[in-house]
Amino acid sequence: MEHAEAKCSRVLRHGNCYEESGKAGNWDKVVKAYEDSDYLKTIVDNCMMSMSKSDFVITAHLANDKEFGAFWTQLHDEFELTKTMLLKLSGQEVLMANYPVDKKSIATREKIILPLVLIQHFALEKLQHDQNEKDQAALEKLAVRTVFGIVNAGRNLA
């Protein structure tokens, strides 16, 4: 787990980088780069779209987990910081405010996949414990089947 946490701290720094630039007195330069660069705008837009598809409520129970709690908290904190900084940079009040059709499409997708994700989490949680052979096979099949629905919903919407 230590390796995953160390890697996470190097990779998940999008919001942190913007925050540090602001603290260093370079926020105006960051904003100027954003305003002048379609490339940077695209990166920010793509980040906001990905963040719009994230739902920490589903995994919130992991915040108190002995093994994964610190990792989950680190991910969540960086997510919230990144969200704050991207909204500040883009001048938007909510993620994807400039793309209402795409935002609605993502919301529709989430309504489709939420039950599948919950079923998948249920099956995976049950698979962490000893099962008889029949239940083991059924839970494995259930977990795999939910992946198909989640992937298809992601491919067909937003």
pLDDT tens-place string over residues 41-71:
999 999 999 898 888 988 898 899 999 999 9
Q: Residue 157 has what pLDDT?
A: 55
What per-residue string of b and e applies to 101-126 under the rule 16 or more CB within 10 Å gives b?
A: ebbebbeebbeebeebbeebeebeee
pLDDT reading at 3 higher than 60: no
| Per-residue pLDDT, 89 | 95
pLDDT band at 156 (very low <50, low <70, confident <90, very high): low
Contact 127, 136 (CB under 8 A): yes
106-154 tens-digit pLDDT: 888 888 888 999 999 999 999 999 999 999 999 999 999 999 888 887 7
Residue 12 CA to residue 75 CA, distance in Å, equals: 8
Q: Could you tell me the pTM of the whole model?
A: 0.77
